[in-house]
Structure 1
Amino acid sequence: MFRRRESVPFSFVAEADRFRSNVTPPPRERSSVSQLAGRSLIGLTVVAGLVGSLILGLPALSPAQGPSDIRQTQASHGS
């Protein structure tokens, strides 16, 4: 019913650690100029989006310095 696992000789296990294939993978194709341009354009678009969101988001994160704050400060000092 259940199959017993066969023991593996120690020499086989030790040899498996150093096994290297003699088949070399094919060389990678060089990217064409249009592929390089496309990748750099995508990278620049991502960086520009991050910088733009940082520039637009910083004023929203800074504490408000509007005219309503000035009126509240003057009213609290004047009374």
Structure 2
Amino acid sequence: MFRRRREPVPFAFVVEADRFRSNVEPPPRPRAGAAQIAGRTLIGLTAAAALVGALLLGMPAMESGPHGKTTQHSEAAEGR
């Protein structure tokens, strides 16, 4: 049914990659400067403030029931 190819695979070195371990490490990441740390902090604080603001503005809309004593009455409902 299925015939195996007897010819060598052109990229046979990929098979051997599992056995090969390199002792070369990538260079260390550069340290973040003061400007980068301040920028990241400001972005984080802005995102947190936006979430809190959305929660505070959205809470009244999520409450059920009438608010206070200001209800609207139509003149037709009074039965004049």
Sort the Cα spacing of 1:62 and 1:24 in 2 relative to 1 into closer, same or farther, 3 A.
Answer: same
Q: Provide TM-score, normalisation by structure 1.
A: 0.62
Larger proportion of helix: 1
Structure 1: gaps (5+ residues): 72-79
Q: Where does structure 1 differ by over 6 angstroms across 4 or more consecutive aligned residues? A: none
Q: Which residue of 1 aligns with 2:26?
A: 25
C-alpha distance in 1, partners of 2:19/2:50? 48
Count of aligned positions:
63
Over the matched positions of the two proteins, sequence identity in percent amounts to: 60
C-alpha distance in 1, partners of 2:66/2:50? 27
SS of the equivalent of 1:68 reads: coil
**Deviation string for 1:34-74 (max 9, x for gaps)?**
000000000000000000000000010001323339x8xxx
Q: Which residue of 2 aligns with 1:45?
A: 46
Q: Provide TM-score, normalisation by structure 2.
A: 0.62
Structure 2: gaps (5+ residues): 10-14, 74-80
